[in-house]
A and B are shown apart, each in its own frame.
Chain A
Amino acid sequence: MCELFAMSAGHHYTAHEYLPPFADRARENISGWGIGFFRNGQVHIEKSCEGIFTGDMMHDSFSRLARVIDSRIILSHIRCPKSGHQKESHAQPINDWFLDHNWLFIFKGESPKLLAYQSHRPIMREELLAARVFEFVRDEMESGLANRPRQSLYQVMALGCKKLITNYPGRYTFFMANETVLFAFFNTDQVLTYQDPTAVGELLLVTTVSGGLTDDQDNWSAFSQKDPARGQVLIISGADLLYQGHL
């Protein structure tokens, strides 16, 4: 299964302490990796279809990027062999512009029927489940706000996610971020958050890696979801978990 990582901070930060352990704990996924971040409101994505590890060696580019990239929001994805073809265009994050923002998106999960979803504005033509999930959620948010302009972004996203898991039952976990806010949705398993006790208020980590990324387990909070017919949305900005919504 793929693994997801996000870091949200109050100011520009590097994730050099956290991206290498993320890669290490997700090293069984050999089909590619990607890191996405924001700089001056623009999205930057570096990705590869190569394994995150070769033997005991972390991918050279990944380890260098982990040291160098600084941003308020950093997303990373490590890809498992089950997620389609091993080519760079299938690595994540993927991105799109909608609702006045550049958005980064990473996904893990399974939903065979959703591959048939046809958006009026496909992000890519290739058969990639992450792209179909992103398109579905984006389309629902856009139409939701167009039809009900008094609703909040959370409301249209929650309605879109509810429709996603109702119309296309499956296992979904995704992180979606613009330059200010990170949304995490999941209807299965768990998402973990972490605040470094030595730097409270500096940054918040979010990951799907079971057990977290550091040895101080007490500082990880697990948000679990057992019923895939429901789901949860976390809203994060800066180093704060702002909201936890249950569908």
Chain B
Amino acid sequence: MCDLFALSASKNYTAAASLPLFAVRGRANVHGWGIGFFRNNLPVVEKSGEKVFTDGRLHSSFQRLARVVDSPTIVAHIRYKSSGLVDECHAHPFTLDFWGQSWIFAHNGKAPAIEPYLSRRHPVLEAKSDSARALEFLRDFFMETEPRRASTPFILVLKEALRSLLREYPGEYNFLLTNGRVLWAFTNHRQFLLLKGSKKLEEAMLLTTIDEGLSAEDWKKIVAKPGSAGKLLLIAGGDLLHLQDLDAAPLP
């Protein structure tokens, strides 16, 4: 199972302490890694199809990037493939533009139903995986609702998109989606662990899917309520702004 990491703060941060721990604790994921962040509102992604941890050592590029990447929002992914090849193109995060801005997306889960999805929009992602198709599905949904943008809260469109995704392409979805200012997190099959004000790692808001968190501190575990279609989190500036359960998808 892949694992996800995010850092959110109101100012630039490096994740020099927490990213290496994330890689060490997620080392069972052996099919690649990636780090994404924003510079001047543009997404920057560094990724690899190589193992993040080999022979007791962290991948040297991952380690160096962890020390150097400096941003209010950092997303990382360590891959254990459930779909697609093992190469750099299939590593996460992915990026696409919609709703007037660029987005970084990282996913874990298994959703074979969406693999045949054919986007009607361009560009399409090169990767042939459920994760790439899931991001295209979200992009397409948002582009179709663009005329409502001025008067419709983002969360309403995102919830509609998620209900539609889960109804048409059922599967396990657990993803991070960020435009560099706000971070949306959704899960319908795993947990997120949150920590803010760490004494051992960065003080910023940290998020991971790693079961035990990244330190021996009081990580908040967030899971979807039984019977709901999933849990949606909104994080910005180092704060958990909002969280809510997604209602089960109504019948079409």
Contacts and interface: CB of A to CB of B under 8 A. Distances in A.
B100 A179 contact: no
Interface string B195-238: 00100000000000000000000001000000000000010111
Interface in A138-187: 149-150, 152-155, 178-181
B153 A153 contact: no
Contacts of B172: none
Interface residues of A, number: 34
A128 interface: no
Nearest to B100: A201
A70 B181 CA distance: 18
Contacts of A202: 100
B149 interface: yes
B14 interface: no
A101 B10 contact: yes
B238 A201 contact: no
B187 to A, nearest CB: 16
B101 A238 contact: yes
Contact of A153 (B101, B152, B182, B241): B241
User: Is the interface on chain B under 10, 10 to 19, 20 to 34, or 35 or more residues?
Assistant: 20 to 34
A195 interface: yes
B99 interface: yes
A180 B99 CA distance: 19
B101 A243 contact: no
Given A10-B41, A181-B236, A201-B99, A238 B181 contact: yes
A233 to B, nearest CB: 10
Contacts of B151: 193, 221
Contacts of A81: none
Interface string B83-102: 00000000000000001110
A244 B239 contact: no
Nearest to B179: A238
A240 B156 CA distance: 12
Contact of A179 (B10, B153, B154, B242): B10
Interface string A1-21: 000000000110000000000
B213 to A, nearest CB: 15
Contacts of A149: 220
Contacts of A100: 10, 197, 238-239
A116 interface: no
B240 to A, nearest CB: 5
Nearest to B203: A100
A199 to B, nearest CB: 9
A41 interface: yes
Contacts of A154: 241-242
Contacts of A201: 99-101
22 contacts: A10-B101, A41-B10, A99-B239, A101-B10, A149-B220, A152-B234, A153-B239, A153-B241, A179-B10, A180-B72, A180-B181, A180-B236, A195-B149, A200-B149, A221-B150, A235-B153, A237-B181, A240-B154, A240-B182, A242-B234, A243-B154, A243-B241
**Top 3 A-B pairs, shortest CB-CB distance:** A201-B100, A180-B237, A221-B151
Given A153-B241, A155-B242, A243-B154, 9 more contacts: A11-B41, A100-B238, A101-B10, A152-B241, A179-B237, A180-B10, A180-B181, A235-B153, A235-B234
